[in-house]
């Protein structure tokens, strides 16, 4: 690829360059996606016929195709030299041992891969319009709705799970900001700029892919939105070029989407990425008071398994199994028998124990659902009358809470007769 050396200026000098413009990251500033598109073509990004970027509001863009794309065929090819990856940044900016040691000490050792991508965004931002990435940086979003962008008041309106996830995101950012102070590839002036660091963190968080150890951020391939149903996946060739390819036949007029992670935990997607995935078929049941033991994990404790289904109000088997296992805490022999039956796939024994304790489990679940619905009502009341101009993230938070509430109400409608029947069985 011809542009190879443009992207790697090594060794880098950190005296302020004679730049004429930094990127304005003000939330109201328009993104120049058109210029990025032209730049990508100049950098030899190749795209399938029909690949297009589109936007409804000028803030959020997504990819679609206006032509049929056959399964397995490439949608985008991004030259390896454009891709910002953990290993390429390490090679360019050095090992940053002091920053890495700090992250390891504060328990963010598993976030080092992304830290290097974050560092590269800071370094390129500092180059202003002298950066070869300028058109791409200038096309990126400024307005975020995720945990890092929320105000203290927003946090007050979050239900417990999303609050906990949001707090974790904030702690990660604080750790990155501290580690940034120890990096030797960014000027002191830039290190002190928390607004830019927050923006760079949000870009790295919402647009990188890969494993925890080796992350990558590929301009243009970072334009795919998330879907429960997906059309796109990625692979690298031996030269490090990235291919986005179609995982199925995609008819003209379809969105091109990838998966950012578990589609049944919309709260996680909300805290990290700042959007509500309404295509999510189910949501985690929010039973989180338990510190899971290995046996509970074996039984099925987990965000991705303990589900309430959005449309039907059905409850996944794992929720019932976990509730039963807990209800049997004072009867260790039966608890162990239930665990053994689960591990051996003995459905008949499991069903018999479930039947025997159906009043306990359905009542426990009803109590959980009622308590959670009450919490949502309290949160809703708190936000009444607030000015959305002052709290621009509030509508999305309320939408998230309402989405969860509707699912819980459907579950409650199914549970009412179930509890009544279990009571009838016991008192008959
Ligand atoms: C990798 S970027 C995708 C491109 C992005 N939409 C853009 O305009 O640059 C990830 C961000 O896109 C948005 N996003 C992704 N999937 C979405 C979805 N299903 N619904 C709404 N927003 C979504 C979120 O703001 C997320 O943080």
Reduced 3-state DSSP string for the chain: CCCHHHHCCCCCCCCCCCCCCCCCCCCCCCCCHHHHHHHHHHCCCEECCCEEEEECCCCCEEEEECCCECCCCEEEEECHHHCEEHHHHHHHHCCCHHHHHHHHHCCCHHHHHHHHHHHHHHHHHHCHHHCCCHHHHCCCCCCCCCHHHCCHHHHHCCCHHHHHHHHHHHHHHHHHHHHHHCCCCCCHHHHCCHHHHHHHHHHHHHHCEECCCCEEECCCHHHCEECCCCCEEEEECCCCCEEEEECCCECCCCECEECCCCCCCHHHHHHHHCCCCCCCCEEECCCCCCCCCHHHHHHCCCCCCCEEECCCCCECHHHHHHHHHHHHHHCHHHHHHHHHHHHHCCHHHHHHHHHHCHHHHHHHHHHHHHHHHHHHHHHHHHHCCCCCCCCCCHHHHHHHHHHHHHHHHHHHHHHHHHHHHHHHHHHC
Taking CA atoms only, the protein residue closest to ligand 1 atom 15 is 225
Q: Which of 69, 98, 11, 79 is closest to 40 using CA atoms?
A: 79
Tens of pLDDT, residue by residue over 35-49, are 999 999 999 999 999
Please say if the pLDDT value at position 289 is more than 80.
no
Q: What is the pLDDT of residue 170?
A: 95
Q: What's the CA-to-centroid distance between 275 and ligand 1, angstroms? A: 7
Mean pLDDT, the chain, integer: 91
Residue 20: pLDDT band (50, 70, 90) is low
Burial class (CB in 10 A: 0-12, 13-18, 19+), 137: buried
Mean pLDDT value of segment 68-94: 97
Q: What percent of the chain is predicted at pLDDT more than 70?
A: 94
Please compute the mean of the pLDDT values over residues 336-357 and round it to a whole number. 96
Give mean pLDDT, residues 175-203. Answer: 97
Q: Does 4 or 314 have the greater pLDDT score?
A: 314
Could you identify the residue written with the tokens 């091109």?
256
Lowest mean pLDDT among 96-100, 360-364, 418-422: 418-422
Alpha carbon nearest to ligand 1 atom 27, residue: 273
Dump pLDDT digits (tens) for 375-393: 999 999 988 888 888 889 9
Q: Does pLDDT of 4 surpass 50? A: no
pLDDT exceeds cutoff 60 at 16: no
Asked if pLDDT for residue 9 goes beyond 70, the answer is no
Find all residues with CB under 8 Å of 299, minimum gap 6, and list them: 318, 321, 322, 325, 339, 342
Strand partners, 244: 76, 234
User: What CATH number does the domain located at 4-258 have?
Assistant: 3.90.1410.10
The proportion of the chain whose per-residue pLDDT surpasses 90, expressed as a percent, equals 80
Tell me if the bond preceding 175 is cis, omega within 30° of 0.
no
Q: Which residue has the higher pLDDT, 261 or 78?
A: 78
User: Which is the closest atom of ligand 1 to the Cα of 55?
Assistant: 8
- Ligand 1 center to 57 CA (angstroms): 13
Contact partners, residue 382, CB within 8 Å, separation at least 6: 156, 157
Domain boundaries, the chain: 4-258, 281-427
Q: What is the pLDDT at residue 291?
A: 80
Pocket test for ligand 1, best of 37, 40, 55, 60 (most atoms within 8 A of CB): 60
64 C-alpha vs ligand 1 centroid, how far in Å? 13
Residue 260 Cα to ligand 1 middle (Å): 10
In this prediction, residues 149-156 reach a mean pLDDT of 91
Rounded to an integer, the average pLDDT of 346-370 is: 95
- Confidence check: pLDDT of 67 > 50: yes
Pocket test of ligand 1: the residue of 51, 62, 204 to mutate, having most ligand atoms within 8 Å of its CB, is 62
From the CA of 359, how far away is ligand 1's center (Å)?
44
User: What are the pLDDT digits (tens) for 192-242?
Assistant: 999 999 999 999 999 999 999 999 999 999 999 999 999 999 999 999 999
Residue to substitute in 59, 149, 275, 392 for testing ligand 1 pocket (most ligand atoms within 8 angstroms of CB)? 275
User: 349-358 long-range CB contacts below 8 Å, 24 or more apart?
Assistant: 350/321, 353/324, 353/328, 354/320, 354/324, 357/324, 357/327, 357/328, 358/418, 358/421, 358/422, 358/425
Going by CA atoms, what residue is nearest to atom 4 of ligand 1?
223
Pocket residue to mutate for ligand 1, from 273, 395, 400, most atoms within 8 A of Cβ: 273
| pLDDT at residue 292, as a whole number | 87
Inter-residue contact 312 to 187 (CB < 8 Å): no
Nearest atom in ligand 1 to the alpha carbon of residue 279 is: 19
What residues line ligand 1, using a CB cutoff of 6 Å? 60-62, 141, 206-207, 222-223, 225-227, 273-275, 277
pLDDT higher than threshold 90 for residue 137: yes
Q: How much distance in Å is there from the Cα of 60 to the middle of ligand 1? A: 7
Position 14 pLDDT exceeds 70: no
Residue 323 pLDDT > 80: yes
Pocket test for ligand 1, best of 226, 244, 393 (most atoms within 8 A of CB): 226
Question: What's the 226 CA to ligand 1 centre distance in angstroms?
Answer: 7
The Å distance, Cα 19 to ligand 1 centre, comes to 31
Ligand 1, atom 12: closest residue by C-alpha = 225
Query: Where residue 99 falls among pLDDT bands split at 50, 70, 90?
Result: very high
Phi and psi torsions of 75, nearest 5°:
-105, -40
Please tell me the predicted confidence (pLDDT) of residue 109.
Answer: 86
Query: Measured in angstroms, how far is the CA atom of residue 237 from the centroid of ligand 1?
Result: 26
pLDDT of residue 350: 97
Burial (Cβ within 10 Å: 0-12, 13-18, ≥19) of residue 4: exposed
Q: What's the predicted TM-score (pTM) here?
A: 0.89
Interval between CA 137 and ligand 1 midpoint (Å): 16
Report CA(376)–ligand 1 centroid distance (Å).
Answer: 26
Name the band, by pLDDT with cuts 50, 70 and 90, for residue 265: confident
- Tally of CA atoms within 13 A in the half-sphere of 13 that contains its CB: 5
Q: Is 255 exposed, middle or buried (0-12, 13-18, 19+ CB in 10 A)?
A: middle
Q: Which residue minimizes the CA distance to atom 13 of ligand 1?
A: 225
pLDDT at residue number 232 = 98
Confidence band, pLDDT 50/70/90 cuts, at residue 287: confident
């Amino acid at each position: 690829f011809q542009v190879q050396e443009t992207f790697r200026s090594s060794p880098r000098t950190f005296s302020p360059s004679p730049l004429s413009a930094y990127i304005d990251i003000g939330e109201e500033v328009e993104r120049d996606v058109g210029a990025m598109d032209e730049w990508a073509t100049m950098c030899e990004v190749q795209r399938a016929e029909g690949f297009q970027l589109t936007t409804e509001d000028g803030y959020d863009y997504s990819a679609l195709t206006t032509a049929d794309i056959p399964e397995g065929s490439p949608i985008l090819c991004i030259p390896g030299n454009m891709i910002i990856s953990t290993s390429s940044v390490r090679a360019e900016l050095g090992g940053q041992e002091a920053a890495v040691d700090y992250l390891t000490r504060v328990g963010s050792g598993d976030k080092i891969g992304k830290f290097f991508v974050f560092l590269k965004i800071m370094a390129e931002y500092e180059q202003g319009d002298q950066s070869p990435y300028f058109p791409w940086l200038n096309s990126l979003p400024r307005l975020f709705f995720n945990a890092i962008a929320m105000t203290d008041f927003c946090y007050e309106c979050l239900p417990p799970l999303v609050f906990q996830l949001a707090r974790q995101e904030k702690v990660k950012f604080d750790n990155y900001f501290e580690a940034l102070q120890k990096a030797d590839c960014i000027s002191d002036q830039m290190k002190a700029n928390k607004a830019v660091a927050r923006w760079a963190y949000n870009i790295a968080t919402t647009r990188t892919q890969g494993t925890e150890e080796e992350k990558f951020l590929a301009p243009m391939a970072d334009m795919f939105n998330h879907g429960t149903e997906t059309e796109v996946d990625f692979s690298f060739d031996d030269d490090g070029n990235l291919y986005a390819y179609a995982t199925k036949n995609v008819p003209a007029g379809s969105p091109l989407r990838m998966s950012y992670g578990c589609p049944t935990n919309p709260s996680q997607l909300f805290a990290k990425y700042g959007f509500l995935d309404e295509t999510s078929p189910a949501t985690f049941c929010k039973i989180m008071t338990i510190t899971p033991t290995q046996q509970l994990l074996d039984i099925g404790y987990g965000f991705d398994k303990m589900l309430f289904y959005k449309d039907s109000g059905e409850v996944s088997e794992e929720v019932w199994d976990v509730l039963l296992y807990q209800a049997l805490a004072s009867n260790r022999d039966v608890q162990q028998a239930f665990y053994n039956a689960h591990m051996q796939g003995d459905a008949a024994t499991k069903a018999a124990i479930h039947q025997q304790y159906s009043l306990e489990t359905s009542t426990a679940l009803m109590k959980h659902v009622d308590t959670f619905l009450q919490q949502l009502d309290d949160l809703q009341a708190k936000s009444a009358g607030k000015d959305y101009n002052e709290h621009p993230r509030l509508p999305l938070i309320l939408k998230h809470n309402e989405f969860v509430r509707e699912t819980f109400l459907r579950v409650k409608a199914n549970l009412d007769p179930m509890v009544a029947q279990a009571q009838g069985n016991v008192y008959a």
